[in-house]
Amino acid sequence: MAPDPMDILNTGLTREASDRPGDDPIFALDGEARRRAAAGEHIVNATLGALHDESGALSTLPTVVDLLAHAPSACYGYAPIVGSAEFLEGVRRDAFGAGALFDSSIAVATPGGTGACYAAVVNFLERGQNLLTTDLYWSPYGILAQHAGRGVETFAMFDAEGGFNTPALAEAIDGQLAQQGRCLLFLNTPCHNPTGYTLDDAEWGRLVEVLLAAAAKGPVTLLLDHAYAAFAPESAAAWVPHVERLLGKLSVLLAWTASKSLALYGGRVGALIAAHSGAEERRRLFNALGYTCRGTWSNGNHLGQWAVGRVLNDERLRSQVAAERAELFGPLDARVVAFNAAAQQFGLETPRYEGGFFVCAFTGAAKEAAALAREQGVFVVPLQGALRLALCSTKLEDVPRLVEVVAGALTAVASGAAR
């Protein structure tokens, strides 16, 4: 038996911390893809969730870049710990529009959507409890939860027809209420990472019925992970009226981030919004979340909050950015169309996919298939039950090759040829 590293090393690390993986698997794959491309290979790097243009360069929004370059010197001082008031008001309006959810909400600044998810985990789950999410999910949820002494439990996301599996969700919430006395549901829509799936109006209606029924039995909190909201703007019309019905029955959280919507990944600008109809409840929510800010990252990025606050609160800048973002939609939409056509041609099994950064191909042998594709210079991310394909970072001209190589790898693995 291998010796316990704690017995032979003298790092001072706790037992739990002494054997952590050294690199995030997705960033590790991206690193290898970049190294091989730099060495002259023709690589398709469909790993990272950042939008790249047809020349392979990171897409940015000129208005945001310009604002950041001209931030006033006051931004070099600390932002308030909970975030600047203008920024937070802009974020709440961006998330909810005007209406009951906006009127009933508070928010704190977080480092990206990741910070927002973390703040939810530590405030809405006791140690040892599990958040609930779909069986295909953004893997950092697991790391965040584990790091905070919590865990992840999942339910089957899709039913036999490929729709959102509301009965499985209802059963899982009931199970959590019975077992741990509370439920924190993480739901990433629109443009779910990793499947690309967006809940439609009817699915939202059924989901809210399930949440209302469950909230009558115990504390249920919905966290809407809105990382890709700007890439399906029409979906807001579908969810807002449904989610408004939850007010007064449970806390609604929304993880907001500028990473994707304003192409400001490195800015680490995000917020956790909490909506509740009660003023005393909002006061407690605000205090709890502000305490987490102080107890973890402290103050957020003041320059970033200033620039994002300007964009969100100034109508002229807001429409300017919307127009710049719309220019990025065109190429991404073209990749989605090309993908759907190629996926049909090569018989890839995928979810309903109308847009967004990612899509996935279902498979029971993701690791083996991803390894095979990698040998051929095509990098995708293996997950439990699927391969994630980042169309956001794949050039249009590479989409057919991406699909062909992935389909070939899946066939080879299924027929045993990979071994």
Tell me which residues touch ligand PLP (CB under 6 A).
Answer: 49, 112-114, 138, 188, 193, 225, 227, 257, 259, 265, 270
Nearest-approach distance from CB 270 to ligand PLP, in angstroms: 5
CB proximity list for 66: less than 8 A, separation 6 or greater: none
* C-alpha span between 161 and 231 (Å, rounded): 25
Judge whether 39 and 29 are in contact, CB under 8 Å: no
For ligand PLP, which residue has the nearest CB? 112
- Identify whether the C-beta of residue 312 lies closer than 8 Å to the C-beta of residue 90: yes
Which residue, 83 or 270, has its beta carbon nearer to ligand PLP? 270
Cα–Cα distance for residue pair 192/88, rounded to 1 Å: 24
CA dist 13 to 9, 19, 20, 89, 122, Å?
9, 9, 11, 41, 22
For the bound state, the minimum distance from the C-beta of residue 389 to ligand PLP, rounded and expressed in Å, comes to: 14
Provide the minimum distance between the beta carbon of 16 and ligand PLP in the complex, in angstroms, as a whole number. Answer: 24
What's the full length of the chain, in residues? Answer: 419
Chain position carrying tokens 């040892």: 128
Q: How far is CA 92 from CA 19, 82, 89, 257, 299, in A?
A: 40, 14, 5, 11, 19
Nearer to ligand PLP, 114 or 251 (CB): 114
Q: What is the closest distance, in whole angstroms, from the C-beta atom of residue 49 to ligand PLP in the complex? A: 4
Residue (232 or 414) nearer to ligand PLP, CB: 232
Amino acid identity for residue 83 in this structure: G
Report in angstroms how near the CB of residue 26 gets to ligand PLP at its nearest: 9
Which amino acid, one-letter code, is at 25? P
* C-beta separation of 83 from 89 below 8 A: no
Give min distance, CB of 242 to ligand PLP, in A: 20
- Give the residue with the Cβ less far from ligand PLP, 267 or 331: 267
Nearer to ligand PLP, 43 or 227 (CB): 227
Q: Choose between 101 and 392: whose C-beta lies nearer to ligand PLP.
A: 392
